[in-house]
Every structure is written in structure tokens, then in C-alpha cells.
Amino acid sequence: MSLPGRIRTTIARIRYSAASIGRRISVGAGHAPYALLLALLVAAFLLNVGIGAVSVAPNQVIVIIARHLDAHLQALPGWEAVVDAGSRLGTFPPGAWMRDWLAVDVTRQQDAVIWTIRLPRVLMGAVAGAGLAVSGAALQGIFRNPLADPGLIGVSSGAALGAVTAIVLNVTVLGIWTLPVFAFVAGLLVTSLVYLIARHDGRTEVVTLLLAGVAISAVIGAGVGLLITRATDQQIRTVTFWTMGSLGGTLWNQIWIVALVTAVGIALVIRSGQALNLLVLGEREARHLGVHVERTRTLLMFTTAAMTGVSVAFTGAIGFVGLVVPHLVRLWLGPDHRRLLPCAALMGASLLLIADLVSRTIVQPLELPIGVVTSLIGGPFFLWLLIRTRRQQGGWA
């Protein structure tokens, strides 16, 4: 094909794609999906805080959280002034029935369950779910591959290697932080290794990157297997639990780290939404349209690796969320990344919370590993969706 011809085809293709993207956008109405997803997240959040082995009534939950917030905010200068101003505006809460409702006793046990156990756990679930889902969406975008998930760039297998090393070799140098630090650092190292192998002459190639990721994950899997042959049965049991994930042991000081990394990560990914849209057209086309393909890819790869690494480090490997949530959103709202990414964050957070609710209530006071729940519910649901979509649209959108 001649050069002008090629340009013409390219432009036509861009026009067509842009038009189809525009159509998809106009289908989803305005801010409704955000409102819906936000409502879902709030509902999941409230259910998670309210339900558990120890029963705490909703009014007690409100009292407990309000008391703790008040106690913490007292350290802030000006908080007293705010409270004063508030009380001058009128009595709070308004209405006698509400005052009566909130005049409720709280046991020390209930206070502990809500504030030191459920809230950190629920926040961790929301943050990890959002991070995993956005990572999955971003990776599916930059690799233009529907099967991409954080496992593809080696961060999951690397984190597993770090965690298993810490467990099997009984490393305890950093106390309670040993396993998370090992998992996070190893995850990033392996991603870097995949990246360095795929990088050549200042650029990376998608296929090389994917294959390098697969190959290195295989090698690392062998390393994990090798370590496990040296493990005792108790260690193997610990490893097994880690690979299925749990939000159970979440502490407040872990939340801040994960939340910070995830917030920055999601912001960076969402900022690249338009670039991801253009990448769908093909690398060359995106480059002609002003996208720094290489820079975007590198940035997103390491951002997702950091997000996935930090949540996997604290919660263990929670499968399926990163792969499935982006597809669910795409089926519902179409492929525009500017909408897909924030919606995936909200939906990932909600779905992980719902999964956690199931995992800790279905056999209470015992718990199921959350990875078991996400796969057990997510797998069949996803298959059903897949088959239904094929029947209705004749194929995967």
C-alpha cells in the first residue's frame, strides 16, 4: 500500500473508532453510573461494618464511629470551634426520636470490634479492590489484551516468591512487616526484570513483554515450588492461606500505606485514560495522535505493579478481581477508559467488600479465605455473563 493510501486508511480507521467510542459514551447516561456504583459501594460498606460474628446495631455503629472520630479530631486545632459553631446552630442530632435512637450503650467489646477490626478491614477491602480492578483495566488497555491482569507483568508471582521466602525461611527481621515488605519488594523487582528483558533500543514491544512475563512467572513458580519442598506442613498451610488471601489481620497503620499508594496510582492511571483510548487504535496510530506510547506504557506498568504489590503484600493474593471487574464495567458502559477506570475502581471496591462479607459470615465465627469466595462466586457469574453476551451479541464486545 502506498504511503498516502496508508494514511488515508489510518485516518478513516481513527474516524470510525472515534465515532464508535462516541456512540458508546452517549449510550451510558451522564453521571448515573457513578451514582449507582457509589451507592453500591456505600451499601457494601455499611453492610460490612454492620454485620459479623459480634452483633452491633446500626445506631451503635454510628455512636462508636462518631466517638472515635471526635476523639481523633480533637487533636486538630479549630475542631472545638467547629463543634461550638455546630451546637450554636441548634441541637444535634435534630429530632427527639433520633436523639433517643442514638442514646444507646456500647460495650467495650462492640467498640473494639467496630473500630479495631471491622473498619480497618473494610477500608483495606475497598482500597485493595479498587487498586486491583484499576490495575487490571490499565493492563488490559496497555497490552490491548482482554486476558491481561496483574499476574501478567510478574508482580503477583514476584510477591508470592517474596512471601513464600519469608514464610519458609522463617525470616522475621522486620517483625510483623517482614512478609509485606518481602512481597512488595519482590513483586516490583520481578516486574522490573520483565521490563528490562523486554526493553530493547529504548523501547519495549508488547508481545515480548507478555512472553517475558509468562516465562519469568513460570521460572518463579518453579522457585516457589522449590522452596515449598523445604517447608514443613505448617508452613505449607500458611503459604496456602496466603495464596488465597485474607483481609482478616488488617491494622490501621497498614491502611495508610496501601491507601496512599493506591490513591496516587489510581489518579495516575485515570490521567492516562485518554492515552489508553488512543492506544486501542494501535501503537502507531496513537503515536501519531500525540501519545508518548513508551512513556505511558512504562508509567502504567510500574504504577499498576506498585498498586498490586502493596495490596497483595498485606492481603495475600486475591484473584479474579483484577481480571473480571474491568470486563464487567466494559460490558455495561463500553470501552471508554475515561469512564471505565473510575467505574472499575468503584466496582472493584464494592465487589471485594461483598466477597469479604460472605467470607467472614458464611461460616462464622470462622472465616473462608476471600480468594475462594471471589473465584467461587466470580467465576460462575462471569461465565454466565460470557455465555449470555455471546448469545445476544454474537461475541465478546
Partner 1 sequence: MTSTSPFVTRRLGAFLAALALIASMAFSPVVSAQTPVASPVSGEAPTPTLPVTVTDSSGAEVTVTDVSRIVTLNGDITETVFALGLGGNVVADDVSALYPPEAAALPKIGYQRELNAEGILSFEPTVVIGDEEAGPPEVIQQLRDAGIPVVIVSSDTTSIYGPVDEIRQVGQALGIPAEGDALATTLETQLQEAEALAATASSKPRVAFLYIRGQGTQMIAGSGTSADLVIAAAGGINAGADSGIQGYAPITPEALVAAAPDVILVMQAGLASVGGVEGLLAIPGVSQTPAGESGNVVAFEDLYLLGFGPRLGEAVHDLTLALHPDLDGAPINPQWQGTDVAVEASPAASPSASPAS
Q: Read off φ and ψ for residue 276, nearest 5 degrees.
A: -65, -40
Least distance to partner 1 from the beta carbon of 254, Å?
Answer: 8
Pick the closer one to partner 1 by CB: 74 or 170.
170
Under 8 Å between Cβ of 322 and 252? no
79 or 256: CB nearest partner 1: 256
CB of 112 to partner 1, least distance (A): 3
3-state DSSP of the chain: CCHHHHHHHHHHHHHHHHHHHHHHHHHCCCCHHHHHHHHHHHHHHHHHHHCCCCCCCHHHHHHHHHHHHHHHHCCCCCHHHHHHHHHHHCCCCCCHHHHHHHCCCCCHHHHHHHHHHHHHHHHHHHHHHHHHHHHHHHHHHHCCCCCCCHHHHCHHHHHHHHHHHHHHCCCCCCHHHHHHHHHHHHHHHHHHHHHHHHEECCEECHHHHHHHHHHHHHHHHHHHHHHHHCCCHHHHHHHHHHHHCCCCCCCHHHHHHHHHHHHHHHHHHHHCHHHHHHHCCCHHHHHHCCCCHHHHHHHHHHHHHHHHHHHHHHHCCCCCHHHHHHHHHHHHHCCCHHHHHHHHHHHHHHHHHHHHHHHHHCCCCCCCCHHHHHHHHHHHHHHHHHHHHHHHHCCCC
Report the interface residues with partner 1, using CB under 8 A. Answer: 52-54, 108-109, 112-113, 116-118, 168-170, 175-176, 230-235, 237-238, 241, 248-251, 360, 364-367
* Whole-number Cα distances in Å, 306 to 268, 343, 360: 12, 20, 28
Choose between 227 and 289: whose C-beta lies nearer to partner 1: 227
In the complex, what is the shortest distance from the CB of residue 131 to partner 1, in angstroms, rounded to a whole number? 19
**Cβ closer to partner 1: 132 or 247?**
247
Tell me whether residue 91 or residue 170 sits nearer to partner 1 (CB atom). 170
Q: For residues 93 and 249, which CB has a smaller minimum distance to partner 1 in the complex?
A: 249
- Residue 231 or 377: which CB sits closer to partner 1? 231
Would you say 314 and 251 are in contact if contact means Cβ atoms under 8 Å apart? no
Rounded to the nearest whole angstrom, what is the least distance from the CB of residue 182 to partner 1 in the complex? 15
* Nearer Cβ to partner 1 (34/241): 241
Q: What are phi and psi of 203, to 5 degrees?
A: -145, 160
> Shortest Cβ distance from residue 113 to partner 1 (Å)?
6
Q: How far is the CB of 326 from partner 1 (least distance, A)?
A: 30
Minimum CB separation from partner 1 for residue 118, in Å? 7
Least distance (Å) between residue 169 CB and partner 1: 6
Q: Decide whether 56 or 137 has the Cβ nearer to partner 1.
A: 56
- Least distance in angstroms from the C-beta of 7 to partner 1: 59
